[in-house]
């Protein structure tokens, strides 16, 4: 997907990017590739693949959940890596207030510098483990309208990272690929335990490649019990599962 095809594909979905926004995406691409030579940010570096598999892919939540395009929502991106999906969302929809948390300081430094290069406002970056960032004494706990995550962990694990950060009646939106159905079935107990309810599994596809994507929308119906998230490392090692005999 060339930059021109990227712009046209979004226009077909009702999202018109200005010349300034297109330049921001180009600057993002150039800085990503340059930094990637000495900091491992992505295995995808060809321009056409970055525009399709990183930039367009990151915008799928807003294409499917339309209020992201227009409301001044606070979004927390957990384990954003090189800034996906939250930085492309912020470029396309400047109304968003973005907070990024990542466990690797090199990535946070890249994102801080990127934000300056792109002249982004209302963006905040934190070097922390998700379990600590969402802990019971954290100022960030249950404070975000939307929490996102892409390619971080299985949904049962991700839910423990993300749902504690979503405010009551907020949403956790997970970006998933082919194994979404299996992950959803496996995560039902964890989602319910953490105060969430699975609302939608929106199946879509990337243009040109037709690769399947799932936008999973989980609403926050009840406060997350204080004992979650558990200490760093535990959710990944011991994902929340229903006791034997229960589903």
Binding residue per annotation — 131? yes
pTM for this structure?
Answer: 0.94
Binding residue per annotation — 236? no
Q: Indicate if the pLDDT at residue 80 is higher than 70.
A: yes
Whether the CB-CB separation of 239 and 192 falls below 8 Å is answered with no
**How far is it, in rounded angstroms, from Cα 114 to Cα 124?**
12
**How far is it, in rounded angstroms, from Cα 4 to Cα 55?**
13
Instruction: Give the pLDDT band of residue 247 (cuts 50, 70, 90).
Output: low
**How far is it, in rounded angstroms, from Cα 15 to Cα 17?**
6
Name all domains of the chain by residue range, CATH numbers in brackets.
Answer: 3-236 (3.40.50.150)
Q: Indicate if the pLDDT at residue 246 is higher than 70.
A: no
Binding residue per annotation — 150? yes
Q: Indicate if the pLDDT at residue 109 is higher than 70.
A: yes
Binding residue per annotation — 84? yes
Host H or E run for residue 189 = helix 180-193
**What confidence score (pLDDT) does residue 180 get?**
87
Q: Determine whether 115 is exposed, middle or buried from the number of CB atoms within 10 Å of its CB (0-12, 13-18, 19+).
A: buried
């Amino acid at each position: 997907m060339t930059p021109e095809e990227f712009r046209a594909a979004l226009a077909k979905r009702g999202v018109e990017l200005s010349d300034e926004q297109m330049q921001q995406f180009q600057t993002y691409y150039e800085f990503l590739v340059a930094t990637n030579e000495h900091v491992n940010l992505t295995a995808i570096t060809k321009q056409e693949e970055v525009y399709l598999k990183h930039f367009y892919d990151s915008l799928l939540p807003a294409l499917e959940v339309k209020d992201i395009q227009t409301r001044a929502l606070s979004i927390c991106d957990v384990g954003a890596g090189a800034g996906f999906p939250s930085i492309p969302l912020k470029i396309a929809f400047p109304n968003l207030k973005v907070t990024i948390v990542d466990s690797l300081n090199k990535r946070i430094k890249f994102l801080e510098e990127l934000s300056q290069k792109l002249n982004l406002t209302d963006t905040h970056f934190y070097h922390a483990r998700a379990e600590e960032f969402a802990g019971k004494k954290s100022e960030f706990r249950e404070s975000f309208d939307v929490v996102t995550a892409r390619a971080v962990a299985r949904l049962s694990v991700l839910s423990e990272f993300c749902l504690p950060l979503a405010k009551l009646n907020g949403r956790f939106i997970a970006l998933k690929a082919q194994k979404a159905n299996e992950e959803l079935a496996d995560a039902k107990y964890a989602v319910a335990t953490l105060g969430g309810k699975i609302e939608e599994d929106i199946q879509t596809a990337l243009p040109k490649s037709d690769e399947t994507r799932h936008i999973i929308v989980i609403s926050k119906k009840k406060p997350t019990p204080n004992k979650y998230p558990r200490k760093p490392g535990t959710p990944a090692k011991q994902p929340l599962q229903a006791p034997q005999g229960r589903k």
